[in-house]
Amino acid sequence: MDRRLNTLDPRYYQIAVLSSLLCFGIFVLDFGIRGYNAIAIILTTQCVQFLGTRWAGLDRFDPLSAMITSLSLTLLLRTDLVLLAILAACIAIGSKFLLRCNGKHIFNPANIALVSLMFGSDQAWVSSGQWGSTTVGAFALVCLGLVVLTRARRTETTFAFLTAYALLLLGRALWLGDPLGIPLHQLQNGALLIFAFFMISDPKTTPNSAAARLVYGALVACIAYTIQFVFYTPNGPIIALMLAAPLVPLFDLAMNGRIYRWQQQQGVS
Amino acid sequence: MRIPVLFLSATLTVAISGTAEAFCGFYVARADTNLYNQASQVVLVRDQNRTVVTMANDFQGAVTDFAVVVPVPTFIEREQINVADNALIDHLDAYTAPRLVEYHDPDPCSRHELYSKRAMNDAPSTTLELRNVARSQALGVTIEASYTVGEYDILILSAAESGGLIRWLTENDYNIPTGAEKVVASYLRQDMRFFVAKVNLQEQSKLGYARLRPLQVAYESNRFMLPIRLGTLNAKGKQELYVYTLTRTGRVESTNYRTVKLPSDNEIPEFVQAEFGDFYRAMFVQETRRENERAVFLEYAWDMTWCDPCAADPLSSDELRRLGVFWIGGKGSDNVPSGAQDAFVTRLHVSYDSKHFPEDLVFQETGDRQNYQGRYVIRRPWKGATSCDASAYLAATRERQEREAQTLARLTGWDIAAIRAKIPYVGGSAAEPDGAPWWKRIWQ
């Protein structure tokens, strides 16, 4: 059993965790996730993945990464227009096939879709406050459980980001003389955890070398902090990842490392 | 004498007024801001980084005791400050307040159908003299500007450090609560200024306003927030705050606290009409507890073009303009038809203290234009004579009345037995519908 767990593609765990979070968000937190958007996103990501696989001439259709992207998008993207949800799904999966460098796609699919729609339309938004702060403890445990289950593969980016971001918030509170309850409240954010464990952690869009991943995670945290607390623009981490992603090929050029492969992975995922 | 300072000053009434027909029921009552003795009301008009904030005063003491200290993100020039009319905020409050509506059952014998439910989307002295310039310099406080606007004397203050500013405010008779220094220091480090206002008695008697009017400030800043931290220092328990936003695109929500819709469209017993205010307060307390006292509640989100049912008429383009909706009206737009307003109104209600709301409220505008209103329904049973066997109607109505009692108990936490005792069940006084199992009432 243990051997089977070891060889199982970690994306199954991710899908299980994201699906549970989605159910929790819909049935307990009453997020305002529109059912038709969720269905549109899931169907569109799979269709575009299928078309992209054919277009790129790959041997095997791989639905898992597209499923993770669709769940992340459903959890984070809010819009009243189903067409925008479909567009988000197209941008997300399309970017994997079109925007590539050194055999890797440049942007995290859900991330590029969110940022494109947030800035390209006033009808799409991310509700970062909707997770509340009381359920975040349980949420964090689930995320950490995921790390344990996946044997901490390439989680340096997540921990570098969370550590650097927490230190920056703590430093800001100390500089301002604010009570520590403020940075703690800022960290108790469900959207931040989804970002840290399911978006920035994407092994396909992070640097190949472990040291570079640590630097990269910290760099995203610095940019996110600047956006959020210097320019006072919401959703700092999501925008920061989009800005930092083009630097990944440079990190790969400067610091050697092995390109990540999912188990049984053959296609673009 | 020390003047108690209002940081985000403001106050909530149940107005029972006339009825008006609408698809969503006949409007019978509303729960407006007079429900609470102490509540702040703030209107935030926002588009891009342009903001107009209107701060309403519920101050009820002697005007000589009035002072307000508000952190503002930028320097404010004289032309950026205005004094508005209380009627504007009163109208916005009435228009957006949670509402009670009623339906009347038709004669069960003339039409054997119940109503069809439509789905709904609803300073001690006058002038703040500049005699203190030297002293303020000694304390490291800069009086960046001093204006008299309407009945107010206003100062824009910045300071090198919070201790000096607190000392300056204390020496100038502002009663600053303990613990303010740290919060003031935090705002100063964030490069914020302090907007300080007192009443100019001479101007006030000249203008003849008995009730202090709302202050308005227009500024440009990326920060879409409301500083509430100073308000939590007064330590008088929880503070009630109403935030109305007027935006172009859609609903506004908090980015650092959960924004939750209050339960709506619930059918509740008829007697609630007489105690709608009590009902609303009790429900609000219950919902606040359900959210661990950390949520901002949405009470109304609506396109300003209409309402259904209307607790008050939508605001006219002139009223919106005076509230600071700068993209509406103005020169050359006199012909804009009333009702065709390019403004979306959001009404948020938050009950806060420093324990559950450690940081200032931060907002974002969303693209959500779905209409929402806090709406509660009472249904009047048919009380006229019947010319047929109405036993089926009576049984259905008694079941409905029981459901309404249970809904009310769930929403408010009130005792179900006390609720049942107030309900005039049709066809008799028994609370249970005929034929209900005997064990249903044992442990209730």
**What is the average pLDDT value for chain B, to the nearest integer?**
81
Cβ-count burial B346-385 (b if 16+ within 10 Å, e if not)? bbbbbbbbbebbbbbbbbbbbbbeebbbbbbbbbebbeee
**B406 and B378 share a domain?**
no
Q: What is the pLDDT of residue A33?
A: 80
- The string of pLDDT tens digits covering residues B159-179 is 887 888 888 888 887 777 778
**B301 and B373 share a domain?**
yes
- The answer to whether residue B154 sits within a structural domain is no
- Find the closest chain A residue to B248 by CA distance: A122
Provide the CB-side half-sphere exposure for B407 (13 A, CA).
18
- The answer to whether residue B151 sits within a structural domain is no
**B360 and B244 share a domain?**
yes
Confidence label for A152 from pLDDT (cuts 50, 70 and 90): low
Domain end, chosen from B344, B367, B388, is at B388
ipTM here: 0.88
Phi, psi of B128 (to 5 degrees): -85, 90
Mark out chain A residues that contact chain B at CB-CB < 8 A.
29-30, 32, 78-80, 121-125, 127-134, 175-179, 181-182, 184-186, 189, 231-234
- The answer to whether residue B195 sits within a structural domain is no
Q: Mean pLDDT throughout B76-91?
A: 91
**B240 and B94 share a domain?**
yes
- The string of pLDDT tens digits covering residues A101-118 is 878 889 999 999 999 999
**B384 and B396 share a domain?**
no
- The string of pLDDT tens digits covering residues B401-425 is 999 999 999 999 999 999 999 999 8
The answer to whether residue B11 scores a pLDDT higher than 90 is no
Instruction: Report residue B402 CA to chain centroid gap.
Output: 32
Q: Which residues of B touch A29 (CB under 8 A)?
A: 258
Contact B292/A134, CB-based, under 8 Å? yes
pTM (predicted TM-score): 0.86
| Nearest CB to B257; choose among A80, A123, A129 | A129
- The answer to whether residue B203 sits within a structural domain is no
Q: What is the pLDDT of residue A153?
A: 65
- The string of pLDDT tens digits covering residues B294-323 is 999 999 999 988 887 888 888 988 999 999
Ranges A159-163, B48-52, B230-234: which has the least confidence: B230-234
Domain end, chosen from B388, B417, B436, is at B388
Ranges A124-133, A211-220, B112-121, B404-413: which has the least confidence: B112-121
Contact B366/A127, CB-based, under 8 Å? yes
| Interatomic CA distance for residues B352 and B350, integer angstroms | 6
Instruction: State how many domains chain B has.
Output: 2
Residue B354: partners with Cβ closer than 8 Å, 6 or more residues away: B229, B232, B233
Structural domain range at position B235: 3-122+213-388
Q: What is the pLDDT of residue B106?
A: 86
Percent of chain B residues topping a pLDDT of 90: 41
Which one, of A194, A162, A228, A214, lies nearest residue A69 by Cα?
A: A194
Confidence label for B244 from pLDDT (cuts 50, 70 and 90): very high
- The answer to whether residue B136 sits within a structural domain is no
- Find the closest chain B residue to A125 by CA distance: B366
**B383 and B396 share a domain?**
no
The token pair that represents A187 in the structure block: 């960290």
Domain end, chosen from B388, B405, B433, is at B388
| Nearest CB to A80; choose among B256, B295, B370 | B370
| Nearest CB to B358; choose among A181, A189, A233 | A181
Residue B311: partners with Cβ closer than 8 Å, 6 or more residues away: B27, B30, B32, B94, B95, B96, B97, B99
Q: Mean pLDDT throughout B31-46?
A: 82
Contact B359/A186, CB-based, under 8 Å? yes
Distance from CA of A78 to the nearest CA of B (A): 8
**B102 and B226 share a domain?**
yes
Q: Which residues of A touch B221 (CB under 8 A)?
A: 232
Question: Which is higher by pLDDT, B134 or B81?
Answer: B81
Contact A128/B358, CB-based, under 8 Å? no
- The string of pLDDT tens digits covering residues A159-212 is 999 999 999 999 999 999 999 999 999 998 888 888 988 889 888 889 988 899
- The answer to whether residue B344 sits within a structural domain is yes
Distance from CA of B227 to the nearest CA of A (A): 14
**B281 and B358 share a domain?**
yes
Amino acid at B309: P
Q: Residue A149 in contact with residue A10, Cβ under 8 Å? A: yes
| Interatomic CA distance for residues A181 and A173, integer angstroms | 9
- The answer to whether residue B178 sits within a structural domain is no
**B383 and B244 share a domain?**
yes
**B118 and B259 share a domain?**
yes
- The answer to whether residue B69 sits within a structural domain is yes
- The string of pLDDT tens digits covering residues A48-89 is 999 999 998 888 888 998 999 999 999 999 998 999 999 999
**B370 and B352 share a domain?**
yes
Q: Residue A227 in contact with residue A219, Cβ under 8 Å? A: no
